[in-house]
């Protein structure tokens, strides 16, 4: 009889911290840096790592997101595996020039002679009544930049395993971590070095009436909506995409062709959000299977509301998802 793998219970941010420690221990070329990272980071994701692995591998940087990413690109080209932390995803905008012009291009620019094995981590999304630019969801912007993989975990186990794979990947990876889930999500994670493959979605709940596509902080919201729909006799299939680039089209396609109805859910604004790309991919491939238009449930086309309770109306909730499920079923 084979023994079950050892596990322990961690929150999402503890799982991220554990993955960073595992990566530092596994590979001497891994380095962590960012604003206050040496001091443990604003969410304590690197707490204790400078003391454990030394100030040459875990250190603070000046307040310059463009400088953080630019330095990481140089370190990666010099043979290191940099892991840069941007304190909040809303602070990524000054770094987009480095990401779009440099980070994603080196493999193509040098015809494969050089790649940039760099990870950029950033907390994203709302739900904690934070100030302006502290609840942004810019994953669609980054996913539009060629040459950069995009990962958005929804559980502690996925955060740990996918981050290990991202750090080991030969190409740049943007790793978004849901602020809302940092301490509210808790679950069993394996001990030891246990990476999970990038590019594989996860069927969180099986169903045959409607497919709900989501990721990150929206997975728990969609599961609550699916539970409510079950009370009305509707069986919803919830798929956690896990990675937006590369996208697991095989899992999405199998579900869409079976249910014929699709709802896409994300926190970012609806206009030009990642849901638009998903909807287009589905229409191009499986239009004959659809029995209703693809619907999107997303943030509104306005800046995320800071501090106020208005964010409850901005951020998608189970009620809005359940109403969209009903609309595609009644079409």
Given CA atoms 307, 310, 312, 316 in this order, what sign does their dihedral have?
negative
Q: Is 134 a catalytic residue?
A: yes
Helix (H, G, I), strand (E, B) or coil at 306: coil
Given CA atoms 321, 323, 324, 325 in this order, what sign does their dihedral have?
positive
222 membership: H or E segment, kind and range: helix 218-230
Residue 35 to residue 94: CA distance in whole angstroms: 14
State the DSSP string of 78-97: TT-EEEEE-SSGGG-GGGHH
Q: Both ends of the chain: CA-CA distance in Å? A: 51
Query: Are the CB atoms for 16 and 160 separated by under 8 Å?
Result: yes
Residue 272 to residue 285: CA distance in whole angstroms: 20
296 membership: H or E segment, kind and range: strand 295-299
Annotated catalytic residue within 26, 108, 134, 208: 134
Q: Tell me which residues are annotated as active site.
A: 134
């Amino acid at each position: 009889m084979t023994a079950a793998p050892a596990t322990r219970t961690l929150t999402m941010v503890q799982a991220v911290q554990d993955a960073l420690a595992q990566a530092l221990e596994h590979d001497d070329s891994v380095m962590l840096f960012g604003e206050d990272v040496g001091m443990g980071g604003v969410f304590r994701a690197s707490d204790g790592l400078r003391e454990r692995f030394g100030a040459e591998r875990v250190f603070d940087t000046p307040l310059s997101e463009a400088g953080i990413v630019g330095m990481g690109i140089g370190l990666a080209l010099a043979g290191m595996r940099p892991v840069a932390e941007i304190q909040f995803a809303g602070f990524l905008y000054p770094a987009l020039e480095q990401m779009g012009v440099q980070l994603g291009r080196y493999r193509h620019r040098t015809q494969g002679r050089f790649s940039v094995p760099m990870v950029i981590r950033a907390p994203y999304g709302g739900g904690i009544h934070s100030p302006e630019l502290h609840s942004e969801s810019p994953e669609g912007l980054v996913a539009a930049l060629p040459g950069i993989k995009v990962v958005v975990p929804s559980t502690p186990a996925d955060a740990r395993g996918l981050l290990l794979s991202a750090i080991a990947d030969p190409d740049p990876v943007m790793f978004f971590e849901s602020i809302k889930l940092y301490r509210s999500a808790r679950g069993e994670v394996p001990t030891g070095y246990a990476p999970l493959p990038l590019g594989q979605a996860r069927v969180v709940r099986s169903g045959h009436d409607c497919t709900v596509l989501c990721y990150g902080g929206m997975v728990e919201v969609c599961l609550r909506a699916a539970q409510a729909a079950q009370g009305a006799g509707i069986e919803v299939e919830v798929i956690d995409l896990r990675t937006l680039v590369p996208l697991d089209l095989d899992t999405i396609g199998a579900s869409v062709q079976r249910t014929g109805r699709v709802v896409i859910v994300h926190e970012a604004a609806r206009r030009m959000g990642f849901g638009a790309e998903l909807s287009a991919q589905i229409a191009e491939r499986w239009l004959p299977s659809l029995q209703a238009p693809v619907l999107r449930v997303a943030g509104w086309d306005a800046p995320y509301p800071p501090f106020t309770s208005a964010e409850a109306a901005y951020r998608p909730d189970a009620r809005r998802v359940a109403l969209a499920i009903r609309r595609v079923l009644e079409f």
